[in-house]
Structure 1
């Protein structure tokens, strides 16, 4: 299956119709900043999360008296999208309800994912439409993985996350892919979160309603950086594997994994979007690649 290639004067990107997944983002004169999907660590680069974010308890839920199986992060990441519209620097990919999806998710949805290059990077936009006659409950989100470190000669511990605002919130703890209900401390330093593999020994850092609208992944002493702007996404995941995996995921979410003991009814799942018949929801995040100045403690 051929990848879609987008180009402008500043960037080149490749998108795979399988999963509508961003496979590369290359600045002019530079190298790919997106993780290369080594199966030894993690075989994906930037999967689309739909119609759920995270895991359900037992990977199943109930609706209208029936039980359905649905794996972690849903099925969009493993589905072939049709290319609806393509220009030199933008593409819209589409996934609609089908016989195959209705077995796992009995709702009439229409999901579009649009990638648009611009001068600083790329925008990923989701448009979800309720194409049926009953409320559609869903979650949607991004899961882009970036090379960590971004440049040769730097160590992982040279990097920090610089948030738009000083952050103080705790992380929601994860166990077997579910939210346990507990919370844990995050070693904030005002606007900064120093990065270390040890942060991910207990799985992802899951933040509810962070104060910031963006975060920059950069070396403390300055250099090539990634800024993810996630305005309109109330939840943020930050994840890597702690066994030497050379990537860092920054994940804007509409929705999150189930809490342990949460009722199995999908309509009762916490923080799902409930979309009435005929209505649509659009949300988008941006990835910017830019030089960054040094930051202090």
Structure 2
């Protein structure tokens, strides 16, 4: 396996693995680590890219043109090695293209390019999907970065997620990894959610209607991260109860709904790209340094 790539500037250093084009570390110039370290005692992921689906398919089978294909939760991109196509001091690009192996479970020609780029104390992670097939390309895509909870320098302090738009998005529930019909009242009050481990005893908090264009995650009177989103209308928050991380997950696509077909185009928020089309999705996180 090729080694990870490091990009860095005076504020931040970011390490990216070719496996899944997944970030391995975000370190500020003062030595503080912000990204979850992947301790398998809790969860071995760090920042997987989710493609060509987000969430589960019924029975782990994805319907495409009337045929079922095996598809694990969150798709296959996170388990595939990407090629490094460019790297500079402050940006790198990894690429995954269709192969015989991917076409056996997702019968399309595609190109997925994942970019990590630094600008001062801001990190942008972007994915560009290109349809290289002769027919429409259906897919979902998302990001699953895990950050420390508590954040460095904020031990013992309450942490909250605060939405820039002050919204109160309704909550969707999971049943066996699938979305249950209907919504619950929002756990946000005037855009603010004080985090408690027990909130996650039944899995992720999923907000199909999203949380607007940005949010703040961090201590009430301490360090915090600020996120902005591009073309990512859905949001999830997740951890394992008692684990020292929180995933801030912006998506375009969510799990299939219970009682519905497994067809990829019936999945909520599925994308469909015309032949030759390209779509970009990204989040930017500003890190205190």
Task: Tell me the TM-score range normalised by the shorter chain.
Answer: over 0.9
Q: Does residue 264 in structure 1 map to residue 262 in structure 2?
A: yes
Shift of 1:285: 0.7
Q: Which runs of 4+ in 1 moved over 3 A?
A: none
Distance 1:81 1:188, change over 3 A: same
What does residue range 55-74 of structure 1 map to in structure 2 within 5 Å? Answer: 55-74=56-75
Shift of 1:186: 3.2
Instruction: Give ranges in structure 1 of 5+ residues lacking alignment.
Output: 292-297
Q: Does residue 102 in structure 1 map to residue 103 in structure 2?
A: yes
In 2, the alpha carbon distance for the partners of 1:153 and 1:215 equals: 18
SS of aligned partner of 2:78:
helix
1:170 aligns with 170
CA shift digits 1:47-78 (9 cap, x unpaired): 00000001111110222332200000000001
Shift of 1:46: 0.3
Q: Does residue 158 in structure 1 map to residue 158 in structure 2?
A: yes
CA contact (8 A) 2:256 2:262 kept: no
Shift of 1:230: 1.3
Task: Work out which of the residue numbers 250, 253, 261 in structure 1 matches 2:251.
Answer: 253
Shift of 1:212: 2.4
CA contact (8 A) 1:56 1:71 kept: yes
In 2, the alpha carbon distance for the partners of 1:211 and 1:82 equals: 33
CA contact (8 A) 1:187 1:194 kept: no
2:46 aligns with 45
RMSD: 1.4
Q: Does residue 206 in structure 1 map to residue 231 in structure 2?
A: no
CA contact (8 A) 1:17 1:81 kept: yes
SS of aligned partner of 1:181:
coil
- Give TM-score, length-normalised by structure 1: 0.93
Shift of 1:233: 0.9
Instruction: Give ranges in structure 2 of 5+ residues lacking alignment.
Output: none
CA shift digits 1:203-251 (9 cap, x unpaired): 111112235211111111x221111211321100111111x11000000
- Give TM-score, length-normalised by structure 2: 0.96
CA shift digits 1:153-204 (9 cap, x unpaired): 623x611111102222221001211101132233323131100011111211
SS of aligned partner of 2:240:
coil
CA contact (8 A) 2:148 2:245 kept: yes
In 2, the alpha carbon distance for the partners of 1:96 and 1:11 equals: 30
The total of aligned residue pairs comes to 288
In 1, the alpha carbon distance for the partners of 2:68 and 2:264 equals: 10
177-186 or 122-131: bigger deviation? 177-186
